[in-house]
Amino acid sequence: MLKGRVAVITGSTSGIGEGIARILAKHGCSLMLNGFGETEAIENQRSELARISDAEVLYNGADLSHASQCIDLIRDAEGRLGRVDILINNAGLQYIAPIEDFPPDRWDYIMAVNLSASFHTIRKTLPLMRRSGWGRVINIASTHGLVASAGKAAYVAAKHGLIGLTKVVALETAGSGVTCNAICPGWVLTPLVQDQIDTKAASEEISNEEATRKLLSEKQPSGAFTTVEQIGSLALYLCTENASNITGAAIPMDGGWLAQ
């Protein structure tokens, strides 16, 4: 389905980004991976995805908290893979504290990675997409891009901003063959969420199973995590021609969270 296409996926060495990379690889897409991790593990992932896709899979370790490295990531993808058709901005991190206790350096870092990095990658990628007359920008936002939770000031602000950025890019590219959409997952069992479960279990002196149940029951009526495979499948659909008139959308995958 995506043979001949090239995708850049930030934060794709684990979690949601890795799941999206696997789905796109299964459909023949060439990939530029990005993220942190152990060198051997990343190389194993890269070589496995190359085998699955029967296409080129490369890696760039850009630190997306730096604008210059965001730009270098896109330049590297174009230089080594020849083009960029699909940009998936997935890299993100979390920090939880009341606003009065929120460390300013953590605010700055979260805003840089969760929001500003997407601005920098989109800004450098759009001219390439416009030149070819086709492109897909998919921003991995969050339910927290549409509603708030206490203690997550930087994350919520960044994800709300990311959805706003998505809408602006959609308007500016309308009719060009380029679309821009946001996927808004609820709870997904990634290392980021597992840390929150572990913290909840420890602070309330309960089992991890009970902490998981309580976490889901607070927000997600389905009682089940959204999976990385489900998110990857939606990203794949947004890359198809059937989705060519979907743009500027913020699509929840939240087990009914926003229906309450």
Going by DSSP bridges, is the β-strand pair 250-253/178-185 parallel, antiparallel, or unpaired? parallel
HEC letters along the chain: CCCCCEEEECCCCCHHHHHHHHHHHHCCCEEEEECCCCHHHHHHHHHHHHHHHCCCEEEECCCCCCHHHHHHHHHHHHHHHCCCCEEEECCCCCCCECHHHCCHHHHHHHHHHHHHHHHHHHHHHHHHHHHHCCEEEEEECCHHHCCCCCCEHHHHHHHHHHHHHHHHHHHHHCCCCEEEEEEEECCECCHHHHHHHHHHHHHHCCCHHHHHHHHHHHHCCCCCCECHHHHHHHHHHHCCHHHCCCCCCEEEECCCHHHC
By the 10 Å C-beta count (0-12 exposed, 13-18 middle, 19+ buried), 151 is classed as middle
Instruction: Check the CA dihedral 133-26-251-163 and report its sign.
Output: negative
Identify whether 155 is a catalytic site residue. Answer: yes
Catalytic residue among 59, 95, 109, 155: 155
Give the active site residues. Answer: 155
